[in-house]
Structure 1
Amino acid sequence: MWTEHDVLAGGLRMHYVAAGPEQGPLVVLLHGFPEFWRAWEYQLGPLARAGFRVVAPDLRGYNLTEKPPEVHAYRVETLQNDVAALIRALGRERAQVVGHDWGGIVAWQLAIRQPGMVERLVILNAPHPAVSRRVMKDPAQQRRSWYIFFFQLPWLPERLLPAFGNWALRGTRPGSYTEEDRAHYRRAWAQPGAASGMINYYRALLRHGTRHGLNRHDPHNETVKAPTLIIWGDKDVALLPEMAEAQPWVPDLRLVHLPRASHWVMRDEPVKVNNLLIDFLQG
Structure 2
Amino acid sequence: MRFAVVDEGPVGAETVVLLHGFPQSARSWSGVSRPLLAAGYRVIAPDQRGYTPQARPRSRRAYRLHELVADVVALIDAAGAGRVHLVGHDWGGGVAWMVAATRPDRLHTLTAVSAPHPRAVVTAMLTSGQAWQAWHVGFFQLPWLPEAAIRARGGRLAVAMLERSGLDAGRARAYADRLVADPDGLAAALRWYRAMPLDTRVGLSAGAVTVPTTYVWSTDDIAIGRRAAESTGRWVTGPFDFKVLEGVSHWIPEQAPDALAAYILDRIRGIASAT
TM-score, length basis structure 1: 0.86
Q: Comparing both structures, which one devotes a greater share of its residues to helix?
A: 2
CA-based RMSD: 2.0
User: Contact between 1:69 and 1:197, CA under 8 Å: does it hold in 2?
Assistant: yes
Matched residue, 1:3: none
Q: How does 1:150-165 map to 2 (within 5 A)?
A: 150-162=139-151, 163=155, 165=158
Q: Which residue among 54, 61, 69 is the counterpart of 1:72?
A: 61
1:180 to partner: Cα distance: 6.3
3-state SS of the aligned residue for 2:71?
helix
Matched residue, 1:147: 136
3-state SS of the aligned residue for 2:45?
strand
Q: Which residue among 214, 217, 221 is the counterpart of 1:229?
A: 214
User: Contact between 2:21 and 2:90, CA under 8 Å: does it hold in 1?
Assistant: yes
Matched residue, 2:258: 271
Q: Which residue among 247, 253, 256 is the counterpart of 2:233?
A: 247
Instruction: Give deviations 1:141-195, integer Å, cap 9, x for gaps.
Output: 221111111111111212223446424432566xx63526733652366335211
Q: How does 1:136-215 map to 2 (within 5 A)?
A: 136-138=125-127, 140-162=129-151, 163=155, 165-171=158-164, 177=168, 179=170, 182-183=173-174, 186-187=177-178, 190-191=181-182, 193-209=184-200, 211-212=202-203
3-state SS of the aligned residue for 2:51?
coil
The 1:145–1:172 alpha-carbon spacing in structure 2 relative to 1, beyond 3 Å, is: closer
User: Contact between 2:15 and 2:44, CA under 8 Å: does it hold in 1?
Assistant: yes
> Residues of 2 paired with 1:148 and 1:180: CA distance?
22
The 1:262–1:184 alpha-carbon spacing in structure 2 relative to 1, beyond 3 Å, is: closer
Gaps of 5+ in 1: 1-11
> Residues of 2 paired with 1:188 and 1:155: CA distance?
14
Which shifted more, 158-167 or 129-138? 158-167
User: Contact between 2:123 and 2:228, CA under 8 Å: does it hold in 1?
Assistant: no
The 1:139–1:253 alpha-carbon spacing in structure 2 relative to 1, beyond 3 Å, is: closer
The 1:225–1:42 alpha-carbon spacing in structure 2 relative to 1, beyond 3 Å, is: same
> Residues of 2 paired with 1:95 and 1:103: CA distance?
15
3-state SS of the aligned residue for 2:232?
coil
Q: Which residue among 78, 96, 99 is the counterpart of 2:85?
A: 96
Which shifted more, 69-78 or 133-142? 133-142
Q: Which residue among 12, 24, 44 is the counterpart of 1:23?
A: 12
> Residues of 1 paired with 2:42 and 2:147: CA distance?
35
> Residues of 1 paired with 2:4 and 2:179: CA distance?
12
Runs of 4+ in 1 over 6 A off after TM superposition: none
1:135 to partner: Cα distance: 0.9
Gaps of 5+ in 2: 271-275
How many residues align structurally? Answer: 264
> Residues of 2 paired with 1:52 and 1:194: CA distance?
31
**Percentage identity across paired residues of the two chains:** 35
